[in-house]
Structure 1
Amino acid sequence: MKKTQNVTIKGTKDGITLHLDDSCSYQELKRELDQKLSANSRLNEGQPLISVKVQMGNRYLTEEQHEEIKDLIRRKKNLVVEEIVTNVITIDEAQRLKEESEIVSVSRIIRSGQVLEVPGDLLLVGDVNPGGTVKAGGNIFIMGTLKGIAHAGCYGDEQAVISAAVMKPSQLRISELINRAPDLSLDNEGKVLECAYIDDNRQIVVDRIQVLMQLRPNLTRLEGGR
C-alpha cells in the first residue's frame, strides 16, 4: 500500500504553499516537514527568498506548536513564513466573532463624558448629547439625535456606517478616518434618516439612508435578527 504523504508542497506565483495533513500525529508531521523542507532547501540554494503559506486544515495548534512550525520553516535557507492558516479556532475566538456579529440594542441617553462601546453593531434608541461618545466594532444606528461623537468600525472596518434620525455630530469616525463634520448634515430636521459612510475617495460623507441599499447590501443581514 502506498504511504500517504503528510506534507504536500505546491508552488504558486507568490511562493510555495505547504498542505499539512491534519490526521497524523504532530510529531510525525514535524519529522516529515523537516525532511521535505531540507531536501527542497538544497535545491533552492542561491535562490532569492521564497514566501511560504502553511495550510493546517482541521488541526488545532497551540501557540507553542505554532511557533515550532514557523521556526522549523525559518531554519531552512531561502524560506520566509507568510502565514499559517487553520480551520480551527478557540472558544474565546469563536465568542469574540459572535459578539462582533451581534447587534446590541440600548435604550438610553448618552450624556456628556459618557462612552458607550460595543464589539458588534449598535442600535441606540435615544440621543447622544454633546460630549457623549458611542463606539462600535460594526455599524451604529441611532434612533434619535447625534450631537456627540460616533465611531463606527473602530477595529478597522471601513465598510461600517453611522446612521441617525438627526445627524448633527461634533465628530464622526469610521475606522481610522475622522471628520468633525459640523456642516455635513442634510438639515432635514429628522424628516429623513441620514447615514455616514466612507466613499470611493476615502472621505466620510453624509447622505440619505436609502443609498445604503446599493452601497452596503450586506446590511440586509439585520432582517430577522441575522
Structure 2
Amino acid sequence: MPENRQMISIKGTNEGLTLFINDSCSFDEVMDELKEKLSVYQPNDDEPEVAVTVKLGNRYLNEQQKNQINELISKNNNFIVQAFDSEVVRKNDAISWKEESDVKTVHRIIRSGQVLEVTGDLLLIGDVNPGGSVVTTGNVFIMGNLLGMAHAGANGDQNAVIAASYMKPGQLRIADYISRAPDYETEGVYMECGLIDEVQDKIVIDRLQVLSRKRKDLSGFERRIQNG
C-alpha cells in the first residue's frame, strides 16, 4: 500500500465525530495509526463526551476487534463509540435478514387445530377457519377469510399489521397486544386491516387504505392486494 495513503481520517459532524477506516489495510495497521492519532488529544476534565461513529467501508470486524477499537477510543479520552457502520455483513446475518424481509406465499386452508408459523411476512391465499391460527414475525396478508386467530409481529414488532379480504377473526394479536372477538354477533368486514393505534393503545380495525398513510413502507404491497 502506498505510504501516503491515509489509513484513518476523522471528520466532525453535528452529532459528534465520524472516524473513517481504510478497508484495504490490515487491522494491526489500523490499531497502530489510531493509537498515534489519539495520543495527541488530551481533553480537559470538564469537556463533555463526544459520540463517535466508526465507518468501516468494505471491512468486517468481529466482536473482539470491535471491543479493541472501542476500548482504545474510549481510553483516556472523552470519546464514546455509538456505532460501527460496515458495508459487509456475515452470511448468517444476511440469511436472517432475508428471511425476516421476505414475503412467504402459502396456498392452503388453515383448518381448526392447525397452526401456520412463518418468519417474515405471510401472504396466505386461502382461509383461516375458526380454530385455525397463523403466526408470523412480520405482517399477515390473507387473500381469503380470516375467521380464526392471526398473530403478527410475534417477536415484538408493534408496527406489524394484519389484513384480510374478509375479516371476522376469533382473535387478533400484534406483538403483545391482543384483540378478542366481540361477545355479540357481527357480520365481519371486507378488505380491512388490524393495526396498533398508539393513541388508543390497542388493536383497531380500519380500512385497508389507511396503510398508505400509517404504514408507508407497505403502500406498494397494499395496492397489489386491493387490485388483486
- What corresponds to 1:165 in structure 2? 165
* Match status 1:16 vs 2:14: no
Residues 100 and 120 of structure 2 are in contact (CA less than 8 Å); yes or no, is this contact kept in structure 1? yes
The alignment's TM-score, normalised by the length of structure 1, stands at 0.81
- What corresponds to 2:206 in structure 1? 207
Residues 102 and 120 of structure 1 are in contact (CA less than 8 Å); yes or no, is this contact kept in structure 2? yes
CA deviation vs aligned residue, 1:61-115 (integer Å, no higher than 9, x gap): 1232222222222323322221111111111222222222222122333345543
SS at match of 1:34: helix
- What corresponds to 1:36 in structure 2? 37
- What corresponds to 1:106 in structure 2? 106
The within-5 A match list for 1:68-107 is 68-107=68-107
* Match status 1:182 vs 2:168: no
Which AA in structure 1 matches 2:193?
C
Shift of 1:221: 4.6
Q: Percent identity?
A: 47
Shift of 1:163: 1.0
Residues 38 and 76 of structure 1 are in contact (CA less than 8 Å); yes or no, is this contact kept in structure 2? no
SS at match of 1:138: coil
Cα distance, 1:68–1:108 mapped onto 2, change above 3 Å: same
- What corresponds to 2:4 in structure 1? 3
The alignment's TM-score, normalised by the length of structure 2, stands at 0.80
Shift of 1:195: 0.8
Separation of aligned partners in 2, 1:221 and 1:160: 13
Separation of aligned partners in 2, 1:200 and 1:189: 24
Number of aligned residues: 221
Compute the RMSD of aligned alpha carbons. 3.1
Deviates more, 1:23-32 or 1:104-113: 104-113
Unaligned ranges ≥5, structure 1: none
